[in-house]
Structure 1
């Protein structure tokens, strides 16, 4: 049950492969595509230069389809030419993620979600769980934000998007084949602690907003739209969907904008700077939305004097 996460937040949070029972897509080392099978550009790729050092930023998604691989030659060459792979998290690690998920995603023994929701919200949740063939008992120890993620993730997976086809798995397999070290920008404890910043009222509202979007189809439309924009490297559509996802006064939009993006981007930027001072060439794979907007990581690096070139 814990392997599910809404695709929108899966674009921003790296979750452990082992705890999600996922496999990784087969990595293919840098190779030119054949004329019969051209490999399209996907995501967004930046080259970052500073004081004689070069690194790459690549916008990833943590879910996808097997047909998204191999990645195109500009990406695979950049990875092959790099001395290290840098990810938000090394998603192969099981214990740190599981400990953090228990700490922030579940109630203490004896507690239940039924005690933390209003009767109206609980009734709406029970209807949604019944529709998804999930028993309330199986999730009653989970906090509302996690239950919302389970329900939306279940629906998105029905449309063919799976964590087993996340980009991190592909990059990690390639890095292992190329014997590159893997570095992390964050910890599982930090990432999942972000959800603990939501109080009971906000978590209930977050749950209700996601249940509403399940009912009206917006959950699938927004998630699939952003993944499809990534799969075509459609910068205009990526930017438009990013604005939609972070605009408005809903708990979900505010949480994404202020916490999942604006709170994390400066710290990740500083960490990338530190890595560039020590690694000859770093390939940084990071959630796509961290590379979009006026306070994105590329913009923060530019403000700090880095030469940042968007390759596509």
Structure 2
């Protein structure tokens, strides 16, 4: 069941670090990009979901994103584009404009900003148990992990000195790259090119997002790692299903794919979903005290299912209205 969780966790992590761990590990190419993009595009229906929160002098749009997309997927509807254009301020999970875009296949060194993020990640992720990452695994899990590393083209000892969450991020990035998924095609990166001149804010920093993973108990991290290792083979299939629900504007379908699986581990659920959604609802409540129009773009799982941002807004007496188009 937790195999689905890695979709949410990996997407968050990849959005935050923009591939620096992939640079550390290895780079791979996939020859299936166009076919997968076509399959995802066939799912097109009404479009990704959009909500509006408003009072007498403030309008706040809530738009759920997917941090990675297949190339060529046409998702930006006129309704969403108009909401974005009309907004004075753009708010996202992190400010992706501070992270330069980088193609590992270019053969050029990563920009200093990416190297700084990588160094931060590596500093947080240093294993302090006195052994190696593989020493923390039972015999069965270790064998599965080493097989997955070999299948991804990575040395089995590459992450021995790091905590499980770092291995999850790096391995997921390689797996997604092989599957033809690229953060540069994600919604946030595309929106970056459409908001020039707007005031910009972010709910979190890259370091905070990495801290969510680093703060997880070791047992939760090891469970996530084992489940993600088992799920790499079907990652693309699950991701295409998630993108299909997103394009169709079906938050309940998204919740069933992402959030329901996360509920299997209450600590993960609280860390990656509940606490953050609660904080963001508080930000929205405070922002309603200021006039203007705001466009908020966060991972679609945060606006779907139980304990969504909208649920926590309701607890504050604030209604988020779904915009039909």
Same fold (TM over 0.5): yes
For the structure 1 residues 99 and 51, does the alpha-carbon distance in structure 2 shift closer, same or farther, using more than 3 Å as the test? farther
For the structure 1 residues 152 and 19, does the alpha-carbon distance in structure 2 shift closer, same or farther, using more than 3 Å as the test? closer
Does structure 1 retain, via aligned residues, the 8 Å contact 2:251–2:305? no
Which residue matches 1:231?
247
Which residue matches 1:25?
none
- Which of 85, 93, 100 is the equivalent residue of 2:90? 85
Gaps of 5+ in 1: 23-38
1:136-193 per-position Cα deviation (integer Å, ceiling 9, x unaligned):
24333332122123333433333332211111111111112xx102101112222111
Query: Which one is further off, 289-298 or 131-140?
Result: 131-140
Q: Report the Cα offset of residue 209 of structure 1.
A: 1.6
SS at match of 2:231: helix
Determine the C-alpha separation between the residues in 1 that align with 2:135 and 2:252.
Answer: 44
1:147 aligned onto 2:148 = no
1:53 aligned onto 2:58 = yes
Which residue matches 2:137?
117
Which residue matches 1:28?
none
Gaps of 5+ in 2: 24-43, 100-112
- Which of 199, 218, 221 is the equivalent residue of 1:181? 199
Does structure 2 retain, via aligned residues, the 8 Å contact 1:18–1:92? no
SS at match of 1:264: helix
Aligned length: 284
For the structure 1 residues 243 and 261, does the alpha-carbon distance in structure 2 shift closer, same or farther, using more than 3 Å as the test? closer
Determine the C-alpha separation between the residues in 1 that align with 2:75 and 2:237.
Answer: 25
Q: Report the Cα offset of residue 228 of structure 1.
A: 1.8
Length-normalised TM-score, structure 1 = 0.79
Which residue matches 1:9?
9
Determine the C-alpha separation between the residues in 2 that align with 1:21 and 1:276.
Answer: 40
SS at match of 1:67: coil
Q: Report the Cα offset of residue 223 of structure 1.
A: 2.6
Which residue matches 1:34?
none
Determine the C-alpha separation between the residues in 2 that align with 1:308 and 1:80.
Answer: 20
- Which of 231, 235, 258 is the equivalent residue of 2:270? 258
- Which of 283, 290, 313 is the equivalent residue of 1:271? 283
Determine the C-alpha separation between the residues in 2 that align with 1:21 and 1:125.
Answer: 17
For the structure 1 residues 91 and 66, does the alpha-carbon distance in structure 2 shift closer, same or farther, using more than 3 Å as the test? same
Which residue matches 1:297?
309
Determine the C-alpha separation between the residues in 2 that align with 1:18 and 1:192.
Answer: 13
Does structure 2 retain, via aligned residues, the 8 Å contact 1:40–1:232? yes
- Which of 190, 195, 199 is the equivalent residue of 2:217? 199
For the structure 1 residues 21 and 208, does the alpha-carbon distance in structure 2 shift closer, same or farther, using more than 3 Å as the test? closer
Does structure 2 retain, via aligned residues, the 8 Å contact 1:45–1:311? yes
SS at match of 2:158: helix
For the structure 1 residues 268 and 238, does the alpha-carbon distance in structure 2 shift closer, same or farther, using more than 3 Å as the test? same
Determine the C-alpha separation between the residues in 1 that align with 2:221 and 2:313.
Answer: 33
Q: Report the Cα offset of residue 113 of structure 1.
A: 2.1
Length-normalised TM-score, structure 2 = 0.76
Q: Report the Cα offset of residue 12 of structure 1.
A: 4.2
- Which of 300, 304, 309 is the equivalent residue of 1:288? 300
Taking only aligned residues, the RMSD between alpha carbons, in angstroms, comes to 2.9
Q: Report the Cα offset of residue 305 of structure 1.
A: 2.4
Does structure 1 retain, via aligned residues, the 8 Å contact 2:8–2:258? no
1:108-145 per-position Cα deviation (integer Å, ceiling 9, x unaligned):
7x974244434443332111111111112433333212
Q: Report the Cα offset of residue 6 of structure 1.
A: 4.9
Query: Map of 1:56-67 to 2, 5 A cutoff?
Result: 56-67=61-72
SS at match of 1:208: helix
